[in-house]
Structure 1
């Protein structure tokens, strides 16, 4: 009686170890890592401004992992070199684009509103004929700053009750100024002085009330101002004050229109 022999499955031979291919792979991998390290160190400032470098480095790492995961396929030294070259070329192109790109414009710095307590005294002489009423009020405020007044403020506008500029004189008195930007043929009349006289002392609590104009005052206006203690500064007196040729208008008896 003969026994049938059991067939055995043929055993597959293991893949032959190729020392040369392995050495070439690790050599290229080390070269690529060194090159990436130098590139990252040299382009660190660009990486800070352009986060796209992070994406590029991640792409290189992912490509290396994918290449390592395909060990079942026969690796070609030429293929690895080609892929590494493409990755380095792409990284170099991205770096050059980042260097050529213009730097972002700096954010605009907000400019604070002008105050009259922290600005230097003006040195120019204004041409009052070309100023509009608002600019004329600002010019009078500048003159007050120049001559040592503190807490200078332009308050002219709707509901100002006759006060255009307020300040404290160097000796601590409260100064209230009304500005009249008039033409040569339009004088400040007594009605203007009466309206200002009704508020400058009682409402604004002025120690010194001042009416400044680019024109002149009528005789009734001057008479009313003298009765109420309001200082009138006409065009000639304004130019003298602006040029520093006369005492300050809040000085006792400085001007008479």
Structure 2
């Protein structure tokens, strides 16, 4: 029967018991405890003899600790402030460089919201006049409202939208008449028909109480639409009349009814 071999490596790792080192460790520990006890006893005796001095020393120590803590916090706050100032300075330099950098052809810098002005858009043709064909329906309404203001109407209100009952612009002429305008931003070949005029004629006087009812279009009117407008007293402003009104070479629509 074989005997199992002993693990020599594990046996080597075990340290032999050293009586001298153990005695020295406990002796040092006893001395440390005695020193702490004597210090505590001396402090208690001193406190009994002069409690005011001990209280002062405690207060001074507490104040010193608090001051040290505040200095650390102040240094941390100063470092944070320096980092924030450096970041702000870097961001400012980046913004200035972006504003001063030349813009590529075909691009323009974006204006901040407060520099964007209200009113009709700046769409002009080669002759310098407003190109109404380049406007969308909302811009066309704004442009017509601007013409009313230019010719002395006040107030002028753009009310076009869902549920407007045919009125896109409401205005009051200089002589106090109420003008109700419907805008038709159509293509040159898409003329305003009689159905459009009939829908407008059913509301312009009875609902909006117009003194002057006007339909302005970028195209023209069919013959039935023109007949209906003449019958109901609606002023029709076609493409040619609109251009003359815009250029100040023709009368405003309410002048025709003056």
Which of 211, 220, 225 is equivalent to 2:224? 220
Shift, 1:98, TM fit:
3.9
Give the superposed CA RMSD: 4.0
Give the aligned partner of residue 235 of structure 2. 231
TM (norm. structure 2) is 0.56
Determine if the alignment matches structure 1 residue 210 to structure 2 residue 196: no
What is the count of residue pairs matched by the alignment?
176
Determine if the alignment matches structure 1 residue 97 to structure 2 residue 83: yes
Secondary structure of the 1:135 match is helix
Give the 5 Å matches for 1:1-257. 65-67=63-65, 92-102=78-88, 125-252=129-256
Taking the aligned partners of 1:185 and 1:84, their CA distance within structure 2 comes to: 82
Q: Deviations over 1:219-252 (max 9, x none)?
A: 2221221121111100011011111111211103
Taking the aligned partners of 2:72 and 2:228, their CA distance within structure 1 comes to: 94
Shift, 1:88, TM fit:
7.5
Taking the aligned partners of 1:63 and 1:233, their CA distance within structure 2 comes to: 94
Shift, 1:87, TM fit:
7.7
Q: Judging changes above 3 Å, is the alpha-carbon distance between structure 1 residues 156 and 89 closer, same or farther for their aligned structure 2 residues?
A: closer
Q: Judging changes above 3 Å, is the alpha-carbon distance between structure 1 residues 153 and 87 closer, same or farther for their aligned structure 2 residues?
A: closer
Q: Return the index of the structure with the highest Cα Rg.
A: 2
TM (norm. structure 1) is 0.56
Q: Judging changes above 3 Å, is the alpha-carbon distance between structure 1 residues 90 and 240 closer, same or farther for their aligned structure 2 residues?
A: same
- Structure 2 unaligned spans of 5+: 1-40, 47-59, 93-111
- Structure 1 unaligned spans of 5+: 1-10, 16-61, 70-79
Shift, 1:253, TM fit:
5.1
Structure number with higher helix proportion: 2
Shift, 1:215, TM fit:
0.3
Secondary structure of the 2:254 match is coil
Q: Judging changes above 3 Å, is the alpha-carbon distance between structure 1 residues 92 and 230 closer, same or farther for their aligned structure 2 residues?
A: closer
